[in-house]
Each structure stands twice: as C-alpha cells, then as structure tokens.
Amino acid sequence: MRLAFLVLTALFLGAPAGADEALKGSLEVVDQGHSDVVLTRATPQVDRRSREYQRTGPPQWITGPVYTNDMMIMRVAKRIVMPFISKTIKSEIPSYTESPMTIKKTVLAHWKGKKPPTPCRVTCAPFGPEGNFRFFHADPSGPRGYLERLGRDSDGFMTYRYWFEEPVKLSRK
C-alpha cells in the first residue's frame, strides 16, 4: 500500500523544474605556484620490528641481565570462535591492571630456566614507560621478564618484544 502511494505521488508531482536540462560547467585548476613548506619540528622514529634495526642492548627502563632474539616477538590479537564464524580482532594488553597471558611454545623454547607445563600461563603487569609490561609465572623458577612495546605491525596488530630475565638458581633448603 505504501509503495503504491509513493509511486502515484512521484507520477503526479513529477520532477523539479529544470531537472531535465543538462548540467553545464567546467572545472578550473588554479595553480598558485610552488609553495615553500617549512618543517618546524620532526620526531625521528625507528621501526624496532625490522630486521635492519640493530639493538644495542635492552631498553634503559629494564635493569638486570636480560636476553632476547628476533623470534621472541608477540603479536596481540583476540580470537572469537562461534558456530559458523571465526574472527581475529586486533587488541592490546590492558595497561591499567594485571592480566593473564599465555606464552607460546616457540617463545618458551628460548627460556633458559625450568620449563613449566604448557600452556604456560603468566601474569602480566604494567611496568616502566606507558605500554610496557613485566610478566612472571606462579612458580618462582618459571619464566619471567619484560614486554617491550614495539608498535603496530603492517597489518595493524600491536607487537611486543619478550625480554627474559636470566633464571635464578634456587637452593633446596
């Protein structure tokens, strides 16, 4: 019923006056000549994810003996699985509270201390400059260290570099 009303209204009212005339006009390009852009301030940024970037040591906010390599990079994402849909969502580690995290087997293989059973769950807490974290296992001899925020990768996912602390030898006494 509503459709019939709309069709009849359009037929009786018709198009606005001048709608059937062709549009006339042209585009004009105005070139003001070369304008001199003056750079007043620039902030250099290094892509710390690239293989060309040579790290000279751990960040200054990390104290004590730590180690890392090119395989110890984490890409943060949440995976949502539903009956007919599986989706990966870009995410970040919450920087306002402690949160649980799982270390993948490929990264855990670089831990020099006692290897916990997999999946290796650790607690991640904000530490140092904004966006960086400290993580630790419930077992004192388990993996612990730092997560350095590297920024977003080419796909837009937040990336972090693992820095493992050297394991501490615990006495049995």
pLDDT of residue 53: 52
d(CA 148, CA 100): 17
pLDDT of residue 163: 94
CA distances from 104 to 53, 75, 118, 143 (A): 24, 11, 8, 12
Runs of H (alpha helix) within 59-170: 105-108
DSSP class of 13:
H
Write phi, then psi, for 125 (nearest 5 degrees). Answer: -130, 145
pLDDT tens, residue order, the chain (173 aa): 666 666 666 656 655 555 555 555 555 656 566 666 666 666 655 555 555 455 668 888 998 899 998 889 888 877 777 788 877 777 778 778 888 888 989 999 999 988 888 788 999 999 988 889 999 999 888 899 999 988 888 888 888 999 999 887 666 65
| Cβ–Cβ under 8 Å, residues 51 and 70 | yes
Q: What token pair was written down for 154?
A: 């080419």
pLDDT of residue 140: 86
pLDDT of residue 124: 92
Q: What token pair was written down for 86?
A: 């599986």
pLDDT of residue 143: 92
